[in-house]
Amino acid sequence: MDREFEFKQILRAFRAGIIGKAAFDEEMARLEGNGSSNGADGGFRAFGRTYKSERDAVISFLDKVRAGEANGGEAFAAWAAVCKTDCIHTGLHIIAEREAYHARVFEQRLLELGGEKRATAGEEGLKFRTYLSDPNVPDTEKLLSFTKKVGDAKEAVRPIHEFAALLKDDLATKEALKLFADDELSSVTWIWEVCATLNAPQRAAAPAPEQAEKAAM
Where do contacts with Fe ion occur on this chain (CB under 5 A)?
A: 72, 99
CB 155 to Fe ion: min, Å: 15
DSSP states along 37-88: --STTS-EEETTEEESSHHHHHHHHHHHHHHHHHHHHHHHHHHHHH---HHH
CB 90 to Fe ion: min, Å: 18
Residues 6+ away with beta carbon under 8 Å from 150 = 156, 188, 191
Q: How far apart are CA 116 and CA 103, in angstroms?
A: 14
CB 208 to Fe ion: min, Å: 35
CB 17 to Fe ion: min, Å: 53
What is the bridge-based pairing of β-strands 49-51 and 44-46?
antiparallel
Of 43 and 73, the one with the shorter C-beta distance to Fe ion is: 73
Of 27 and 184, the one with the shorter C-beta distance to Fe ion is: 184
Q: Which residue lies nearest Fe ion, judged by its C-beta?
A: 72
CB atoms within 10 A of CB 105: 16
CB 161 to Fe ion: min, Å: 14
Of 99 and 139, the one with the shorter C-beta distance to Fe ion is: 99
**What phi, psi does 19 have (nearest 5°)?**
-120, 150
Confirm if 34 and 41 have CB atoms less than 8 A apart: no
Residues 6+ away with beta carbon under 8 Å from 191 = 95, 143, 146, 147, 150
Of 13 and 94, the one with the shorter C-beta distance to Fe ion is: 94
Of 35 and 68, the one with the shorter C-beta distance to Fe ion is: 68
